[in-house]
Amino acid sequence: MIEYALKRGSPTLRIELWAWLTEILATLPPRSIHKRKLVTYLPHLYADLEDRNANVRRTLYSL
């Protein structure tokens, strides 16, 4: 569900989701999330790093 929102969501939604994911991942112990799950976010991360919306890019670069 998160992957779909990152792919199809509005720029504001993607900004909030990346910020939320950053907070959640920072609080979890290492290796508590399966690698396969994290890998599903990579294409969206790379796409958003090149997004034409400057606020989306700025949020990801500040993480």
Place 36 in a pLDDT band, splitting at 50, 70 and 90: very high
Q: Residue 31 — left, alpha, or beta (φ > 0 → left; ψ -120 to 50 → alpha)?
A: left
Task: Report the predicted TM-score, pTM, of the whole model to 2 decimal places.
Answer: 0.82
- Position 1 pLDDT exceeds 90: no
Q: Residue 51: what pLDDT?
A: 93
Residue with tokens 């949020």: 59
pLDDT, mean over the chain:
91
Instruction: Give the single-character DSSP code of 40.
Output: T
**Could you give the CA distance from residue 60 to residue 19 in angstroms, rounded to a whole number?**
8
Q: Residue 30 — left, alpha, or beta (φ > 0 → left; ψ -120 to 50 → alpha)?
A: beta
Instruction: Give the single-character DSSP code of 31.
Output: T
